[in-house]
Structure 1
């Protein structure tokens, strides 16, 4: 009788071990599958969420001291390059440097302004794009014309097709005149550098009201 009970116990232990081995095998197979999928994905695409809706933005100053005597535009007005936006007394006409839209007016009529005060902000809304910052290890894999899938947070992460229009040749640190980083001991601190790329959407999507909002990009490199 005891031998019979021992046999049942051994069979249960063996069954339990077999079940555990099956679970472990399934986990290994699933892990290997998703690992290989991730690897294959990484060889075909470069993805980053370090991306934003962008355009050229000009902060326009009066170039003189004096009262603001003329404001010829309102926020939201479309303007042409060379169009007169306003004037401060005794100074030159304040003109738009580009075709675009007045995004902000930072002074009131009659207000005293200095030569460096920003009075008008004009954005080049006719040339909207996505700026994505790519890590230096991946930048040589990027080329103009490559297909891109862009996901926009402001559109509920909806995806749009696009392409790489331009790859910059200088890092964001150099563009912002940041200095080389050293520790107090004088040793160099290596920081991964980022290089901006310009991405255009294939579709005519209204982006002018979401300048600066977040995007995700997935660039097809093969």
Structure 2
């Protein structure tokens, strides 16, 4: 009986030590990771506007079309040719033949398909931990548990909402409410199998802090 009791104590001791070691490993690993699911597949977007304040006579592209740099997209009465600034995909087309279009009139938006990346939004209280060059593990919802290796390549110098007046919030009484800001971070991943990526695909990222 004493022998079984002794074996039981030893097994309990081993389980406790093993559990502590596992917990230590889990927390030490996760302490060196910054995780978020506020991330999507994206690309730099370019806005196409009119070349002059005149009538749009012709428009030759639609949403989803692939275009090349300097390709003629449409024509106006004055300074006629409207061209693409990059190689990319038309993700928005607002042009209507016959409308007046000036240099501030958005006619289309073209995404840079040669430079697709993961756009990650990091809370301002965590951004000091992030640096260009850090390794990143990325999972894309469309591809299940597959992990893509990546690197932080760029950290924006302004918050996500800076130019949309989203920095602060005021109630009707004029009371100030501080709103936690998000900093956009660019992560480029390795995609050796060239799996198709679509703008807006949801992702989860884990940034290695050390």
Q: TM-score range by the shorter chain?
A: 0.7 to 0.9
| Alpha-carbon distance between aligned partners in 2 of 1:121 and 1:149, rounded to the nearest angstrom | 30
Runs of 4+ in 1 over 4 A off after TM superposition: 28-38, 72-75
TM score, norm. by length of structure 1 = 0.71
Counterpart of 2:10 in structure 1 is: none
| Alpha-carbon distance between aligned partners in 1 of 2:46 and 2:22, rounded to the nearest angstrom | 47
| Alpha-carbon distance between aligned partners in 2 of 1:34 and 1:189, rounded to the nearest angstrom | 42
Q: How does 1:32-43 map to 2 (within 5 A)?
A: 36=24, 39-43=27-31
Of 49, 60, 63, which aligns to 2:37? Answer: 49
Q: How does 1:193-208 map to 2 (within 5 A)?
A: 193-204=181-192, 205-207=194-196
The gaps in structure 1 that reach 5 residues or longer are: 1-27
The count of residues paired between Structure 1 and Structure 2 equals 192
Conserved in 2, the CA contact under 8 Å of 1:128 and 1:207? no
The structural deviation recorded for 1:169 is 2.2
RMSD, matched Cα:
3.1
TM score, norm. by length of structure 2 = 0.75
Higher strand share: 2
| Alpha-carbon distance between aligned partners in 2 of 1:121 and 1:88, rounded to the nearest angstrom | 18
Of 111, 127, 142, which aligns to 1:139? Answer: 127
How big is each residue's C-alpha offset from its partner over 1:19-66, in whole Å with a ceiling of 9 and x where there is no partner?
xxxxxxxxx999978865553243110000000111112232324342
Q: Which moved more, 1:197-206 or 1:147-156?
A: 197-206
The structural deviation recorded for 1:103 is 3.7
